[in-house]
Every structure is written in structure tokens, then in C-alpha cells.
Structure 1
């Protein structure tokens, strides 16, 4: 395990026990938690993007603010729903955030998950072309975004206002190297292979929209191997990266026990359900004493196959609690996975 970061879904609301009651709380606490994670020696601060929900929605102001408060930690998304995005404006925003960070942006994108709005992307002004599905539209947006961040021309120059230039103009600013730090959030083996063929890193989903009857971590490890094989076959010149996400909840004191004892008593099995009409397998949560969790994660074949582990955090419990949780993982569990600060 080369890198460990946290992944926040950015929930906020006035529910009982919430220490993140407003959108402002969620944003400011996210910045503080990223700073705390960097002080712990962690490698990444990642944020889920959802629309029409009390969660993080507009990532680039947040990522830029974190970039200005930190110096080493990677900043990223897991994932941006490309159905909702203007690809060229997003390319400008992403490059600006990457430049502010000094090249630390790791941008997870995907077709996205079900949203509370029935036709949310249409409300943003984006509808599939004739014969397209929502997934097709997301991939079309992705193709134009990826073209733009490489510096390719995307708009015809007007010589009257472009100093006599002709041809196609790229969006500005550009951030060198960003194109190799785009990740695709893949929910199946097939989409992982597709991402590899195009040269995008793999951000393996917290669920897989298929079920072969094997445990989630084994199916995910198979997905990762298929991705790596397809990457090698495509002949890309740079090395790929692979991340997996896990809920890891060490219990070391009474406060932890109050929140997580119930999760620790469950049978620890995967869950199988239906998402968008497809059978999906969800990975289990890991809750218990640090030594037990270290053994369980060491036996998780997908965790062992990935180079980056993203720890989902209960962000509504506040910065102090989550910093304590992450500290317990980095001190008592992560070393058993071969990780060390700054590795």
C-alpha cells in the first residue's frame, strides 16, 4: 500500500448528533480535516460530488482552498458525475486548482450514481443526444474534457481578436501533467477495461454493478487485474494507479464504541442489492479493534492489489473525531499494510 487518503461524502444537516449542520460547516470542516490529515502524514484528501443533496457539490472552490492551506497532500474527487459538467469550463477549473496546488490534483470522474432529482443533468442544461443514453453523454463530456486538458485546440480562433492567429485555440490555463491524473470511477469489470484502454487511472467503486457470487473484495481484485492487463496491452507510457475505498472504523475508546459497536457486532458480510435495475454487490465495513482490522484488511485481496486506499469518513462527527479516527488508522492499522508516512 503506497498511499492512504480519506474520502468524504460531505454530508451536512441538522440531524441529532450532527456536528456539521450547514453547508458552510461542511466546507470549512473539510479544509480543516485535510490539514489535519496532512499533519498525520496521510497522502490524500478526496471528496464525493453529489447534486440536489445536502452533500459536497461544487468541488473546485473547496479543492483550491485546501491547496492553499496544504503543501504535500493530494487533493481529489471520488467522483464527479460527468453528466452534469460543461467539459471546457471544467477543464479550466481543474487546471486552475491544479496550478494552485502545485500539481497535486487527482481527479476522479465517472458516469455518476443515482441522484435525488429525476432528471438532474437536464436541469443543468445537459440532455443526451438522439440515440444516446445518460452514460453515453457522460462519456462524450469526458472525451471533450480530456482533450481540453491535454492542450488540444477546441475552439476556432478569430484572427481579429487573436493577434492574427488561425486554427484551433486551447482553453486556458493549462496545467502540465494533469491529463495523467484523471481517474475513472468504474463500477464493473467492463468499464475498468475501457478506462485502461483510454489511459485513465482506476478508481474502483464502493460497489460493483454485477455479482458473480464471490466476495466483493475478490470480484474487485479481478476487476483490478483486468484493468492492469488492459493497460499493459494498450501500451501506455506511464504507470497506472488504482484506488479502492473502505469504511474502516477502529474502536479504541468509549466514544468509538458508542458509535461503532453495532457495526462491529454485525456478521461482516457483503450486501447485495439493486441499483439502476442491476444487481450490485457492496463491500462490508470494517469495525473493531485495530489489531483485528489490520488482519482483516491484510486479507482483503483488492486492498492488497491497489496502490491507494481511500478511507471513507463519517464527516458529520466533526473534525476532531475524524482526525482521531484517521490517526488511529495511520498509527495502528496502516503499518500492517506496508504503509508509512511519506512512503
Structure 2
């Protein structure tokens, strides 16, 4: 494990006891958390994107604000649902954030996860013949990649008073290194292989949309192996990055034990119309956690770990989780605290 950061689902709404976390609270706390994590030396902060839900839905303004308040930490998404995106507008926004941050954007995209509405992407103006919109996601992703690579996307007007000329014009702004910082959130071995062939980095979550009759971490490790093999077979240069997300809570205080003293095991269920394998929650004293995590095959294979955090519990508590993990667990997993 070379890097670790946090993955926030960004939930907001009623907290019980008459308390409420508003959308504004959620975003401002995310910025404060990023600044605190930057000071602690964590490597990244990433946000889940969900439309029509009380979660983050428009990540680019949030990431731009984080870029302006931090110096070193990587910021990104895990993941943006490409079914909803205008690919050229996303290319412009992503390039702008990447330039503002000095190349610290890690843009995770994918087909998206199950929604709280029916075919919500069609309400955004993107009809699909596929029941889950996979055709729209792949079409948008292909066009987005071509745009951030600098390919011309619209015919220049030779009579324009604003430059004109002939040929095709790329979208602006353009960030030359952004293409290497795009990730695909793969939910299966097949999509992981596809991402390797395309030549983008791999994000693998605490949920895989298949059941192969093996433990979750082994299934995920196989997914990573297939991705890397596909990358090599396609002849892509360099070494791709791979990340996994885990729910990991070192228990060092009574408050930790109160919140997470009964961790959940992994299991198999049904989601999005098919069988799926869910990862477990790790929660124990640091020395016990280290021994458990050393047995996690996917965590041993990936270079980046994303800790799913309870963002509703506030900045102070989440910084406590991050700092405890950084001090008492991460070094034993190979983390040196030196940002790669």
C-alpha cells in the first residue's frame, strides 16, 4: 500500500434528536476535512457522486474549493456516473480543476450504481435502450476521453472574429496530464479487463456485481490481476494505479467502540438486478487490524486504499479516524507517509 485516503458518501439530512446536517454543512465540512487531512499527510480525499439523493451530486465546485485550500493532497471522485454527463462539459470542468490543483485530480468515473429514481439519466436528457444505461455511459466515456486527449471536437469557423481558422477545435481548457489521472470504477472482472484495454486506472469498491463463490478479497485480487494483464497485453506504457475501498476503523477509544464495536462480515446479496459480493467492515484494536488486513489479498495487491468514512459524524471525528489509521495501522501495511 503506497497511498491511502478517504472515500466519503457525503450523506446529509436528519441526524436524529432534532439535529440535521444540511447540504451546505456537508460540503463545507468536506473542505475542512480535506485541509485537515492534507496537514496530517494523508494522500487523497475522494467523493461518491449520486444524483437525486442527499449526497454529493456536483463534485467539481467542491473539488475546486478543496484545491484552493490544500497544497499536496490528491482529490477526486469515486465515481461520477457517466450516464448523466455531457462529456465535453465534463472535460472542460475536469481540466479546469486539474489545472487549479496542479495536477492533483483523480477522476473516477463509471456506469454508476443503483439509483433512488427510475432511469434518472433520462431526466437529464440522455435516453437509453439498455435497462441500466450502460450504452450511454460507454458512449459518453469514449467522447470524454477523446476530448481530454485534445482531439478536435467541433469545426472551426473560418469567418469567426475570435480566431477562426480551419479544421477541428479541441475543448478548452486543456490539461495535458489529465488522461493519466482518469480511473474506471469496475464492478466485475469483465469491466476491469475492459479498463485495462482502454488504458485507464482501476477503482474497485467494497461491492462487486458478481458472485464467483470465493471470498471477496480474493475475487477483487483476481479482478486487479486481470486488469493489469489486460493493460500489459494492450501495450500501454507505464504502470497503472489500482485502488480498493475498505471500511476500516481502529478502535482506540470508548467512542470508537461505541460506534464500530460490532463489525459486519462480508456477504452475497442482490443489487441492480443480479447477485453481488459485499466486502466486510474491519473494526478492532490496531494490532488486531494489522494482522487481519495483512491477510486481505486485494489490499496487498492494490497501491491505493480508500477508507470509507462516516462523514455525518463530523470533521473532528473523521480526522481522528484518519490520524489513528496513519499512526497505528498504515505503516505496517507498507505506507511510508511520503506522497508518491
TM-score w.r.t. the length of structure 2 is: 0.97
Q: For residue 212 of structure 2, what is the aligned residue in structure 1?
A: 212
- Partners of 1:31 and 1:40 in 2: how far apart? 14
Change in Cα spacing, 1:96 to 1:195, as seen in structure 2 (3 Å) is same
Task: Give the length in aligned residue pairs.
Answer: 338
The aligned residue for residue 173 of structure 1 is: 173
Distance in 2 between the 1:220 and 1:134 partners? Answer: 24
Give the drift of 1:262.
2.5
State the secondary structure of the residue aligned to 2:195: helix
Superposed structure 1 runs of 4+ greater than 3 Å apart: 17-20, 130-133
Q: Superposed, which structure 2 residues align to 1:192-211 within 5 Å?
A: 192-211=192-211
Q: Give the alignment's Cα RMSD to 1 decimal.
A: 1.4
SS in 1 for 2:252: coil
Partner of 1:241: 241
Equivalents in 1 of 2:262, 2:17: separation in Å?
17
User: SS of the counterpart of 1:15?
Assistant: strand
Which residue of structure 2 aligns with residue 275 of structure 1?
Answer: 271
Q: 1:270 to 1:288 in 2, by over 3 A?
A: same
Deviation of 1:250 (Å): 1.2
Change (3 A) 1:262 1:19: farther
Residue in 1 that maps onto 2:116: 116
Secondary structure, in 3 states, of the residue corresponding to 2:306?
strand
Give me the whole-angstrom Cα distance separating, in 1, the residues matched to 2:265 and 2:277. 11
Question: 1:317 maps to which residue?
Answer: 313
Report SS of the residue matched to 2:224.
helix
C-alpha displacement of 1:133: 5.8
In structure 1, runs of 5+ residues without a counterpart are none
Q: For 1:46 and 1:131, how far apart are their aligned partners in 2? A: 29
SS at match of 2:262: helix
CA distance in 2, matches of 1:229, 1:306: 14
The residue that corresponds to 1:145 in the other structure is 144
Matches within 5 A, 1:1-343: 1-16=1-16, 21-128=21-128, 134-161=133-160, 162-263=162-263, 269-343=265-339
1:19 is displaced (CA, Å) by 7.5
1:84 touches 1:126 (CA, 8 Å); kept in 2?
yes
Unaligned runs of 5+ in 2: none
Decide which moves more: 251-260 or 312-321: 251-260
Q: Deviations over 1:283-339 (max 9, x none)?
A: 000011111111111110100000000000000000000000110000000011010
Change (3 A) 1:95 1:300: same
Give the distance between the partners of 1:301 and 1:164, measured in 2 at CA: 55
Partners of 2:204 and 2:220 within 8 A in 1: yes
CA contact (8 A) 1:19 1:317 kept: no
Distance 1:132 1:291 in 2: 46
